[in-house]
């Protein structure tokens, strides 16, 4: 008799279970979550039990006052939000072809340079009646502009700690690294030449703090508000700079092996203004799905 090898299949998580997961995280307790998705609290508890059995990890910690995601719950929550957004975008192409309007989108310079053209091109392919106006600014300014309703939504960079503290909706977590020219010597100089922006830049303050802790002499050799300017300084081997790992392309390399102090990760989060119209929600869902 021929032996048949049993292969373990990856389980498929139902979107309905992820919807419940998000509802609990957003409301902070099972009862409110049950009301928001029109289910009983016992049904919600059973759904979370199913999810926990599937992933083999506890997803929430519970006390008398609130329910908080565990680290594994946070991880699943990030993916769950994006999968739900991708589902809404996919169905929306068939259910809501009439979505139209103008969306004012803010983003930091590095996002615009590295990924925004591709994101906007794909969005235009599925939402031909929505125009997107892009505004480039520092992350903190972008968040203020969303709160003041000057723009509709924004992507912004922050630290993992600040994101957790503020309840931010995180789309991406990425290493922040020292970068410089391939085969360059700037990183070997006794007084390290660095390229940063003004004191309001979180990457600057973090990078300088790490250099001071490591007792590494440095000087600010180049200042630019735009990653294109910093890239020019690095490619000319005039300076090194703290940038996302994804920016280490086209002649720039990660200098982690050069003995410079290790930098922390940063996260990219999204913020959408309250009571946003359908066109804005469609753009937000597209961004969420794009980072899946």
pLDDT at 114: 82
Query: 177 is written with which tokens?
Result: 């690294």
Q: Kindly report the CA angle at 154 between 25 and 99, in degrees rounded to 5?
A: 90
Cβ of 46: how many Cβ atoms within 10 Å? 13
Residues with Cβ within 8 Å of 227's Cβ and at least 6 positions away in sequence, in order, are: 109, 110, 113, 243, 247
Looking at the DSSP bridge assignments, the partners of residue 169 are 270
Alpha carbon distance 77, 103 (integer Å): 26
Query: 83 is written with which tokens?
Result: 């999968």
Looking at the DSSP bridge assignments, the partners of residue 254 are 179
The per-residue pLDDT for range 246-262, each reduced to its tens digit, is 889 889 999 988 999 99
User: Helices 278-290 and 71-95 meet at what angle, rounded to 10?
Assistant: 130
Q: Which residue numbers in the chain have pLDDT < 50?
A: 1-6
Alpha carbon distance 276, 292 (integer Å): 22
Q: What is the bridge-based pairing of β-strands 153-158 and 241-244?
A: unpaired
The per-residue pLDDT for range 198-244, each reduced to its tens digit, is 766 778 888 999 999 999 999 999 887 778 888 899 999 999 999 99
Alpha carbon distance 126, 286 (integer Å): 10
Q: What is the bridge-based pairing of β-strands 101-107 and 67-69?
A: unpaired
Residue pointed to by tokens 């939402």 = 127
pLDDT at 136: 92
Residue 176, SS3 per DSSP: strand
Phi, psi for residue 56 in degrees, rounded to 5: 70, 25
Alpha carbon distance 129, 159 (integer Å): 35
pTM beyond cutoff 0.75: no
Q: Kindly report the CA angle at 72 between 110 and 156, in degrees rounded to 5?
A: 20
């Amino acid at each position: 008799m021929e032996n048949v090898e049993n292969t373990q299949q990856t389980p498929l998580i139902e979107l309905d279970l992820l919807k419940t997961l998000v509802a609990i995280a957003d409301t902070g307790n099972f009862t409110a979550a049950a009301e928001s998705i029109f289910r009983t609290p016992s049904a919600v508890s059973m759904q979370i039990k199913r999810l926990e059995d599937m992933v083999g990890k506890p997803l929430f910690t519970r006390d008398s006052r609130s329910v908080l995601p565990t680290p594994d719950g946070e991880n699943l929550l990030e993916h769950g939000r994006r999968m739900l957004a991708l589902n809404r975008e996919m169905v929306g192409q068939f259910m809501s072809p009439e979505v139209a309007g103008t969306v004012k989108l803010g983003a930091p310079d590095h996002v615009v340079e590295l990924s925004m053209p591709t994101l906007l091109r794909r969005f235009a392919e599925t939402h031909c009646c929505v125009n997107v106006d892009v505004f480039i600014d520092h992350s903190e300014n972008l968040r203020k502009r969303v709160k003041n309703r000057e723009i509709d939504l924004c992507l912004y960079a922050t630290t993992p700690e600040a994101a957790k503290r503020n309840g931010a909706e995180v789309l991406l977590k990425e290493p922040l690294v020292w970068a410089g020219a391939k085969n360059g010597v700037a990183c070997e100089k006794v007084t390290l030449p660095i390229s940063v922006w003004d004191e309001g830049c979180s990457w600057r303050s973090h990078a300088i703090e790490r250099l001071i802790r490591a007792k590494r002499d440095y000087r600010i050799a180049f200042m630019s508000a735009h990653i294109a300017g910093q890239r020019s300084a690095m490619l000319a081997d005039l300076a090194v700079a703290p940038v996302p790992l994804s920016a280490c392309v086209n002649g720039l390399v990660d200098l982690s092996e050069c003995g410079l102090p290790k930098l922390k990760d940063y996260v990219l989060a999204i913020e959408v203004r309250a009571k946003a119209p359908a066109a804005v929600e469609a753009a937000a869902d597209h961004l969420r799905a794009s980072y899946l």
